[in-house]
């Protein structure tokens, strides 16, 4: 394994930030404004793909911008996990932008330039988190993401949007400042370092009580991960426009939360410490397991489509945390793979929810009976996204859940195996009847059914693209597994 000093990670982060400035300057010319986004996304993807061969060979790309305190610097490092997350975030930026154009332009929505500007800054922040070499850098970009997405959550600027945005910032900034920041300071005071290291940073003999306290502070401090009881910001943020819910609450924001927890568990505590200290592993697994089951049960009760998707997301995020908490190779590999698999599945569902509203004005599942016959392309995409989230072939979700189930058996924690299976059954229970009724039931709202028609291409095509991605991830899962395997190889010693 070689460490390569390279400025490329910084260029990747800056690309969408430069695009954001151009978007602000070109606001009066919508076609030029949106063209900047596509050009930036292509450049960003090209730079990321240029790093892939080296990363898959085991190389690490590093760059230190500046040292602020002894062993505390603004620094970047690209490994397999970070590159995989960045590739997912940037690639899904493209269909979401197309969808946004198809949704916002016909409605002549206000503040479209601000919308796309904040979107670009959010993508830069997400990639900044992905490439962070230490807790300090990760924390800076984590907070930048919270601030840049607030205008997106409150885009409609009505009472519900303001209320949802207030809860959004209160939870995300409040927990990070009150819990994650003090925990970070304590780690630095005890170890003299905030760098992510294979094997963690704590010395042998560190108090188990201190480790438990720090673990809980980090788990709840990174509230973007949606662990209960710090989860209610996510359903509240569903007041945002559909493309915001799609990318930020299926990919960028929520995945940054679980990504941050993965970094802490593998790079600060260390997988060996988790495996050899049962109290630590148990806390992670129990909190994730409870969230996983309870969120799935709540999702069953939701009639609003976006609310059901929001609680589904809360549960699916805990799949990733539980997989890491198992501290086994296959469990960590499954958690890593579940990042792209769930991202493609859930973004498809959110895009479809927006397309459904545009097609017939329906926001609730009870209004969707028979709609599948009127909007077959949209509902077919929804069906494929559902299969991916449930974990059924031929979609990528099957592969990640297979590794998670294997990891639970390898860890000797059969209860986790039961939790994964139970949750998957609940996933099927809250998605498949919805799809069945949409295609085979009699219309429940004749007025909406009569007026329903397939939405414009700019909104339905992105959902079909991401649905196709769900299937392609199944057939090309071996390529993604190479990233998971390199990450496991770096951080798991046995």
pLDDT digits (tens, 9 = 90+) for 247-282: 777 778 888 999 999 999 999 998 888 888 888 989
d(C-alpha 141, C-alpha 355), whole Å = 31
> pLDDT at position 493, please?
61
- The one-character DSSP state at 456 is P
Residues of the chain with pLDDT under 50: none
Helix (H, G, I), strand (E, B) or coil at 295: helix
- The one-character DSSP state at 194 is -
Q: What are phi and psi of 63, to 5 degrees?
A: -155, 125
> pLDDT at position 107, please?
67
d(C-alpha 60, C-alpha 367), whole Å = 51
- The one-character DSSP state at 223 is G
**Cα separations (Å) of 420 from 266, 285, 338, 475?**
22, 11, 13, 23
d(C-alpha 432, C-alpha 385), whole Å = 11
> pLDDT at position 1, please?
65
Closest CA to 361 of 107, 78, 145, 18: 107
Query: Which residues, other chains included, contact 214 with Cβ-Cβ below 8 Å and sequence gap of 6+?
Result: 183, 186, 187
- Work out how many domains the chain is built from and give that number: 1
> pLDDT at position 332, please?
92
d(C-alpha 467, C-alpha 343), whole Å = 11
- Give the residues across from 304 on adjacent strands: 364
Closest CA to 332 of 280, 258, 439, 245: 258
- Host domain of residue 229: 3-491
d(C-alpha 231, C-alpha 318), whole Å = 11
Element (H, E) at 154: none
d(C-alpha 197, C-alpha 268), whole Å = 7
């Amino acid at each position: 394994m070689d460490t390569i000093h390279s400025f490329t990670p910084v260029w990747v982060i800056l690309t969408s930030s430069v695009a954001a400035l151009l978007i602000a300057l070109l606001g009066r010319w919508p076609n030029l404004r949106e063209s900047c986004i596509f050009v930036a996304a292509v450049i960003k993807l090209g730079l990321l793909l240029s790093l892939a061969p080296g990363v898959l060979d085991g190389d690490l790309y590093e760059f230190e911008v500046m040292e602020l305190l002894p062993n505390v610097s603004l620094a970047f490092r690209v490994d397999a996990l970070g590159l995989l997350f960045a590739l997912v975030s940037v690639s899904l930026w493209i269909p979401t932008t197309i969808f946004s154009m198809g949704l916002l332009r016909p409605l002549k929505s206000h503040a479209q330039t601000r919308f796309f500007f904040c979107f670009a800054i959010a993508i830069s922040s997400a990639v900044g988190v992905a490439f962070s070499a230490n807790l300090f850098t990760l924390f800076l970009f984590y907070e930048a993401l919270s601030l840049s997405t607030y205008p997106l959550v409150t885009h409609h600027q009505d009472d519900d949007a303001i209320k949802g945005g207030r809860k959004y910032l209160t939870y995300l900034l409040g927990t990070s400042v009150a819990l994650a920041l003090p925990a970070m300071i304590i780690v630095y005071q005890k170890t003299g370092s905030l760098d992510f290291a294979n094997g963690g940073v704590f010395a042998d003999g560190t108090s188990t009580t201190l480790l438990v306290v720090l673990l809980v502070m980090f788990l709840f401090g990174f509230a973007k991960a949606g662990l209960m009881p710090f989860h209610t910001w996510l359903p509240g943020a569903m007041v945002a426009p559909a493309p915001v819910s799609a990318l930020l609450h299926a990919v960028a924001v929520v995945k940054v939360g679980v990504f941050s927890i993965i970094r802490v568990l593998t790079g600060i505590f260390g997988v060996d410490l988790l495996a050899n200290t049962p109290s630590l592993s148990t806390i992670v697994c129990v909190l994730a397991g409870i969230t996983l089951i309870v969120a799935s049960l709540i999702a069953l009760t939701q009639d609003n489509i976006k609310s059901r998707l929001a609680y589904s997301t809360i549960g699916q995020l805990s799949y990733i945390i539980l997989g890491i908490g198992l501290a086994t190779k296959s469990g960590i590999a499954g958690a890593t793979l579940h990042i792209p698999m769930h991202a493609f599945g859930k973004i498809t569902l959110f895009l479809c929810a927006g397309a459904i509203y545009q097609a017939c004005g329906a926001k609730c599942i009870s209004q969707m009976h028979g709609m599948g016959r009127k909007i077959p392309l949209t509902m077919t995409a929804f069906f494929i996204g559902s299969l991916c989230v449930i974990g059924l072939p031929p979609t990528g979700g099957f592969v990640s859940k297979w590794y998670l189930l294997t990891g639970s058996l390898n860890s000797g924690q059969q209860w986790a195996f039961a939790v994964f299976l139970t949750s998957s059954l609940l996933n099927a229970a809250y998605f498949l009847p919805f799809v069945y009724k949409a295609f085979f039931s009699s219309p429940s709202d004749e007025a909406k059914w009569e007026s329903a028609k397939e939405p414009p291409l700019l909104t339905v095509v992105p959902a079909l693209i991401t649905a196709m991605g769900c299937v392609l991830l199944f057939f090309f899962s071996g390529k993604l597994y190479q990233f998971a395997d390199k990450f496991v190889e770096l951080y798991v010693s046995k």
